[in-house]
Structure 1
């Protein structure tokens, strides 16, 4: 007999608690292989294909394209053949020795909550993995494959199955709806959802609570219910009062914008930051860059960008002032100085601001850093950055000069300890060698966590950055 297992949205990376369904890769009734991608989601960081750890027949999907799910919410249910004699989806889907080693079976992992096998066989799964994050073999990519062995072991599902007809999953997406039902001891399996495909909405739960309490008041209409199933498009809300003006526009704070808002708010709440800044003459830095790139066209290799030079200067400064390459452990009340420099840089994309991370920047020269920045920037604009490429930074470089502004007071990228901001480089009057001249001037600003160091250390770090900008020859030995 087949066993129906529920696959939940797994943890997609550091600090990512929710994801938006962009595109379903399977339909109800499809046969899926172990570790086959079943849905494409967009987190606050990147686009991710989520593979299912089970092989079998998809019996239900939860959430429409465009809806947002929290980590741990049901994604889909799969009917899996149980028994050692069955050569179902598991064997055909690229099963391999030790597929679930170290992570346990899918039923016990964070991504699946199906009950244990009722027969003598065991359900085969690969554990809680993502594409590129622990899958030991190439992922099979087949859709609507219906081998005879599987169809013989697993009965064909109904055309439009209702998730509540099978044990385990309940047609509820919102954790708020589940919590509300628990608080009123309401059995969700007794409800018929009014949402798409029988989805149980908050309005359904409130109506049931009112009925149990004997209230005669009608439940709130679905349009006014603040549920996670609400449409994500901007909603115009009419102003109250007679003769009201234009309606206010409500824009959901979700996706990249929502994640940025949460992180910046947390940074302001937890980090006692301070900012110092200095103007620097970048004329020599620009001349050095031109020389490196071979103004006469004789140099080979990719061009070195100003951002790459500034990044290399940052790694040299962090080697001299390691206090700023650290984080604060609030529970232990300790400052943790980090041995590697994972340098983040702010990149503006169509989906909002992201901060890709150059790993082990302290071991790279300017050319290597520049090549990695170019690669990550291209991936960011295409929406192909992975969570691993967007997390784990220890220091951030923010070149807001590309927006045509001179200065700023950056907000620290939590949980880092500092961020260097760079304004535009423009010709300005400057006293050079005792005379007034027109020079290429840039404003540098440093926002730092005052818990990890005092102003003297922060000032020394920023002054060293400015000295390297004004006299880049001091770095020739390490560039």
Structure 2
């Protein structure tokens, strides 16, 4: 008799807690092999294919294309052969999402006394730590609003995380101001189901105890609106008994459209949402400043032409600019750093992991070239080309999109001369490169037509002052104008 195994959305790493199903790669009834990709999902970092650790016949799929699932939610079930033991994972890794052994089973804690939570749900000592609502047993996976539900096999539903045994919460239990005005919920142990890390951070920054909230999302999932409602309730004045009721603003309904006929709402999610969150955080936290300079890039263009005429792999202009940047960061290490706000320290980094902005159909992404300081022009060219192609096809891994220490932004490809870019948080600086165009220029005391480029540097004023930033920018401009000087440091 075949054994049916459930494959759940694996831990995606990099702090990612949910993913959107983009495309199913298998149908119910298909035969799959171990480590065969079964679904393509989009996270806030990248679009990846998720491999299944089991081999057998697909018996069910959970979630339609476009559905967002949290980590740990069921993806599909597979019927494996009678004699085939439950796999422990192949150990292979596929773009950072390889299969692995399942987590060790946790021993269930036996309850000793029954308690009543804020929803009137009786948590009885039934020998298995299970909750009972109105005398009906529950399976311990989802207890919400006085009912116990187990719908892990419903196609369009996602089972909530297991709810651990909760301490008693009665009418005599003091309620914090944060939870006033919200439906009191018994504090639970273990992870609280929250829709995204941003909501968890919003609660943490404002002192909201997520364990006291009842989520309004599917299976009690805590949404951003739940945290904001708790904050509004905390800010509302508290009336004592006998005090006349003052006019209190009612909970606002969703804002009406500005015009009756118009407007299109586009959800900020996936890569676009991640970019929006990161740029907003950069603007909030980093006191940035920008300086710029025009440089004569004629000699740099000639040097590139000579390199490519000599045979071998072609050298890209971006690779030469990256080589100049890494040489400049060796002289001005203050710009290859980040600020640890909690420790109030500037952390200078030894390696240069160079990010570069790439525009794709799915939005702006910043792939990272690891150890750019240790690469030559040929290696940089090849890595830029590989990462750019992966960005266009949406196959970049989270590891290739994180960990940058300095960003090079070639906005000249869009036909613009200058920009004041937003720093890629938590980095300390970004070098912008405009288009290279023929312009009148005084060269060796005479007016001539030269290839001129505008360079801009946006930097975190906490890590250095204008003198350091200006020194780095002048160094880069000088090497653009006289690239042969770099030979002294090669």
* Contact 1:5/1:168 (8 A) holds in 2: no
Q: Is the counterpart of residue 187 in structure 1 residue 148 in structure 2?
A: yes
1:106 alignment counterpart: 102
Q: Deviations over 1:218-265 (max 9, x none)?
A: xx9x9xxx999xxxxxxxx99769xx5532111111222111111111
Deviations 1:443-469 (A, max 9, x none): 111111122222211111111011111
1:269-312 deviation digits (Å, cap 9, x = unpaired): 22222111111111111122122222xxxx21122121111000
The secondary structure found in structure 1 opposite 2:155 is helix
Offset from partner CA, 1:96-135 (integer Å, 9 cap, x none): 89xxxxx984144xxxxx8889xxxxxxxxxxxxxxxxxx
Quote how far apart the aligned CAs of 1:58 are. Answer: 4.8
State how 1:56-455 maps to structure 2 within 5 Å. Answer: 58=58, 60-77=60-77, 87-88=83-84, 90=86, 105-108=101-104, 182=144, 184-189=145-150, 197=155, 199=157, 245-294=260-309, 299-455=310-466
Q: Describe the SS at the equivalent of 1:249.
A: coil
CA distance in 1, matches of 2:324, 2:90: 49
> How many aligned residue pairs are there?
368
> Are the structure 2 counterparts of residues 282 and 369 from structure 1 closer, same or farther at C-alpha, using a change threshold of 3 Å?
same
| Structure 1 residues 9-37: Cα deviation after superposition (integer angstroms, max 9, x where no partner) | 33324244432212223444556555443
TM norm structure 2: 0.66
Q: Equivalent residue for 1:39?
A: 39
Cα deviation code 1:184-235 (max 9, x no counterpart): 444233x899xx8353799xxxxxxx9xxxxxxxxx9x9xxx999xxxxxxx
Change (3 A) 1:115 1:33: farther
- Structure 2 gaps of 5+ residues are 93-98, 109-137, 161-182, 184-215, 225-253
Q: Write the deviation string for residues 350-380 of structure 1: whole angstroms up to 9, x where unpaired.
A: 2221111111111111122112111211222
- Residues 1:472 and 2:472 aligned together: no
Query: For residues 4 and 326 of structure 1, do their structure 2 counterparts lie closer, same or farther at Cα, with a shift above 3 Å needed?
Result: farther
Contact 2:336/2:349 (<8 A) preserved: yes
* Change in CA separation of 1:432 and 1:51 when aligned onto 2, cut-off 3 Å: same
Is the partner of 1:379 in helix, strand or coil?
helix
Query: Following TM superposition, by how much is the alpha carbon of 1:78 offset from its aligned partner in structure 2, in angstroms?
Result: 5.3
The alignment partner of 1:250 has SS state of coil
Residues 238 and 248 in structure 1, CA contact (< 8 A), matched pair in contact too: no
C-alpha contact 1:32 1:89 (8 A) present in aligned 2: no
Does the 8 A contact of 1:31 with 1:89 survive in 2? no
Cα root mean square deviation, aligned: 3.8
Judge which range, 247-256 or 15-24, deviates more: 15-24
Work out whether residues 9 and 70 of structure 1, in 8 Å CA contact, stay in contact via their aligned partners in 2.
Answer: yes
Shift of 1:425: 0.9
Match of 1:23 in 2: 23
Change (3 A) 1:105 1:95: closer
Q: Using the TM superposition, give the Cα deviation of residue 345 of structure 1 relative to its aligned residue in structure 2, in angstroms.
A: 0.8
Partner of 2:467: 456
Classify 1:17/1:400 alpha carbon distance in 2 versus 1 (closer, same or farther; 3 Å): farther
* Cα distance in structure 2, aligned partners of 1:188 and 1:302: 62
Larger relative contact order (C-alpha < 8 A, sep ≥ 6)?
1
Give the structure-1-normalised TM-score. Answer: 0.67
Partners in 2 of 1:3 and 1:391 — Cα distance?
40
